Amino acid sequence: MRKVSALLLTSERRAISGLAGLYASRMLGLFMVLPVLALYADTLAGSTPLLIGVALGVYGLTQALLQIPFGLWSDRIGRKRVIAIGLVLFALGSIVAALADTIGAMIAGRALQGSGAVAAAIMALLADQTREQVRTAAMATIGLSIGVAFGLAMVIGPWLAAWAGLPGVFWLTAVLTLVSLVVLWRWVPPAPRRVQHRDVGMDRQQLRNVLTRPDLWRLDLSIFALHFVLMAIFVAVPFRLVDAGISAAHHGLAYLAIMGLSFVAMLPLMIVAEKRQRITRVCVLSIGAITVSLAGLGLPVSDGYWLFAWLFMFFTGFNLLEATLPSMLSKLAPAGAKGTAMGIYSTSQFLGAFLGGTLGGMLASVGGLNAVFLGCALLALVWWGAMLNMPSPPPLASEVVALDDTGADTMEVLLEHLADVAGVEDVMVVPEERLAYLKVNRQQLDEAALARLVTPPRT
C-alpha cells in the first residue's frame, strides 16, 4: 500500500482550474437565460406561457437522457473527445437559440444545448487527472464554481439581455463555449490514464443497491423538487419584479442584492448543519422556508417589500439545500457507490428542471402567475412531509486509499484488516483499480491504525 503527498502537482492545478472554469462557463450559459427568457420571449412567433416554460426547462430533459450515456461513452473513446463533442453541441444549440425567431426554434436550441451532457465526462476526466488524496478538494472546487456561476448568471443575464437582447445572451454563451474548447485542448493536460472511478462514475453493479435505498430516494426527490420549483417560478418572477416597478435592465441589481443577502444568511446555518450534525434539521427548515415563501409569493401580500422578503427567504433555502444535499448524499452513499448515487441524483435534478419549466408554464397559462407559486408551494409541502422524519445521516466521509500491486489473497486480508479499524464503517476493495473505498467516521477513526495499513514499512 502507498500514501503520497496531498500537495497539488502542477498538472493537477491545471486540470482543476481548467475543468472548473469549463464547467462554470457552461453553467453560466445555461443559467443566464433563467431570469430573462420569460420576459423577452414574447417577441418570438407562437410564444405562449406553456411553450416559454418548455423552452426554459427542455435542456433538463436532454441532459437527463444523455448524461449517463455520455459518461459511459467517455470510458470507451476518451474523455476529451466526448467533452469536445458535447461542447460543440452546446455551442450549436446556443447559435440556434440566438438565431431563433419562433418559440419552436428556441425550444430546439435549448434542447440542443442540453444534449451536450458532458458533466459526468468532465468529472471523470478530473478524476483521471488527480490522485485519490486530492480528489475530494478537486470535486469541491467544481461545486464551488457551479455556485459562483449561478450567482453571476442571475446578475449578468438581465444586464446583457437589456443591452443586446435575448440573442446576445446566447451569442455570449456560444463564444464562451468556443473558448472552453481551447482551454480543454491547450490548458488541461492529457490524462495519464482512463479508468473507472467508483467515487465519480457510474458502476452498473452498484445500481440496484443505490436504487433500493429509501434514504437516497429522499435525496433524489429533494433535488428533483428543488430544481422543479426553481425553474417553474422563473416563468413568473421576472413579471413580478416588473410589477414592482423594477425595469428589466435593473433586474440584475435586484438579484444581486437578494442573492448576496441570502448567501450571507445561509453561512451560519450551513456551519451549524455540518459542525453540530444538524444537517437533516437544517434541510427540513430550508424546505419549510421555501414552502412558506412560495405560498407568500402566490398570495396578495407579495407586493413591494414583501416580494423581496419572500424571494430572500426562497433563495436562502435554495442555496442551503444546494450545499447540504450533496453533502448528505456523500455521507449516505455506500462505499464505492458515490458516483452511481450522484448519477441518479443528477438525473433527478435535470428531470425536475424540465418538468418544472413545463408545468410552470402550464400553470401560468391556465391560472396566471399566482397559480405557479401556489402549485409549487403545494409540491414543496409534500416534499417537506417526505423529509420530515428522515434520520440524520451518520457523520461519515469518503476515503479512497491507493494500494500496491498485491495478490487477491492479500486483498482479502487487507479488506478484513481495514474493516477492523475503529471508525471504518464500510469498505470496498477493487483489485483491478488497486483502490480501497472507505466510509469513515472521523470522530472515531483510529488514524494511526489506518496509516499502518496504508503506509509501507520502512526498510
Of 393, 408, 430, which one is at a domain's C-terminal end?
393
Bridge pairing between strands 435-441 and 396-402: antiparallel
Closest CA to 335 of 393, 415, 398: 398
Query: Are residues 343 and 412 located together in one domain of the fold?
Result: no
Q: In this structure, are residues 32 and 158 in contact, taking their beta carbons and an 8 Å threshold?
A: no
pLDDT band with cut points at 50, 70 and 90 for residue 438 = confident
Number of structural domains found in the chain: 3
Q: Is 413 strand, coil or helix?
A: helix
Query: Are residues 387 and 401 located together in one domain of the fold?
Result: no
**Which H or E element spans position 428?**
strand 424-430
Distance CA 197, CA 177 (A): 27
202 assigned to some structural domain: no
pLDDT band with cut points at 50, 70 and 90 for residue 341 = confident
228 assigned to some structural domain: yes
**Which H or E element spans position 401?**
strand 396-402
pLDDT band with cut points at 50, 70 and 90 for residue 1 = very low
Of 343, 366, 393, which one is at a domain's C-terminal end?
393
pLDDT at residue number 61: 95
Q: What is the mean pLDDT of residues 235-243?
A: 93
Distance CA 308, CA 305 (A): 5
Query: Are residues 165 and 217 located together in one domain of the fold?
Result: no
Model confidence over 259-295: pLDDT tens digits?
999 999 998 988 888 777 788 999 999 999 999 999 9
Task: Please give the residue that has the higher pLDDT: either 432 or 362.
Answer: 362
Q: Is 441 strand, coil or helix?
A: strand
Query: Are residues 231 and 140 located together in one domain of the fold?
Result: no
153 assigned to some structural domain: yes
CA 225-229-232 angle, 5° bins: 135
459 assigned to some structural domain: no
pLDDT band with cut points at 50, 70 and 90 for residue 367 = very high
Handedness of CA 416, 421, 424, 429 (dihedral sign): negative
Query: Are residues 193 and 220 located together in one domain of the fold?
Result: no
Instruction: Report the CATH number at residue 305.
Output: 1.20.1250.20
Query: Are residues 385 and 402 located together in one domain of the fold?
Result: no
- What is the spatial order of strands in the sheet that 424-430 belongs to? 396-402, 435-441, 424-430
Of 363, 393, 423, which one is at a domain's C-terminal end?
393
C-alpha cell at 295: 405560498
Q: What is the mean pLDDT of residues 101-129?
A: 90
pLDDT at residue number 201: 65
Query: Are residues 343 and 262 located together in one domain of the fold?
Result: yes
What mean pLDDT value characterizes the chain?
86
Q: In this structure, are residues 290 and 234 in contact, taking their beta carbons and an 8 Å threshold?
A: no
- From 6-10, 36-40, 198-202, 396-400, the region with the lowest mean pLDDT: 198-202
Instruction: Report the CATH number at residue 420.
Output: 3.30.70.100
Query: Are residues 99 and 9 located together in one domain of the fold?
Result: yes
C-alpha cell at 445: 477513526
Task: Please give the residue that has the higher pLDDT: either 17 or 272.
Answer: 17
7 assigned to some structural domain: yes
Q: How many CB atoms lie within 10 A of CB 348?
A: 22
Model confidence over 399-424: pLDDT tens digits?
777 776 555 556 677 777 777 787 78
Residue 439 has pLDDT above 60, yes or no: yes
Distance CA 100, CA 174 (A): 14
Q: Is 117 strand, coil or helix?
A: coil
C-alpha cell at 383: 416534499
Residue 3 has pLDDT above 50, yes or no: no
Q: How many CB atoms lie within 10 A of CB 6?
A: 11
Query: Are residues 374 and 426 located together in one domain of the fold?
Result: no
Query: Are residues 258 and 233 located together in one domain of the fold?
Result: yes
- CA-based max dimension of the chain: 77
Domain assignment of residue 337, given as a range: 207-393
Query: Are residues 438 and 376 located together in one domain of the fold?
Result: no
pLDDT at residue number 86: 94
Model confidence over 63-97: pLDDT tens digits?
999 988 888 888 788 889 999 999 999 999 999 99
417 assigned to some structural domain: yes
Query: Are residues 84 and 225 located together in one domain of the fold?
Result: no
Q: Write phi, then psi, for 46 (nearest 5 degrees).
A: 80, 10
Q: What is the mean pLDDT of residues 336-356?
A: 89
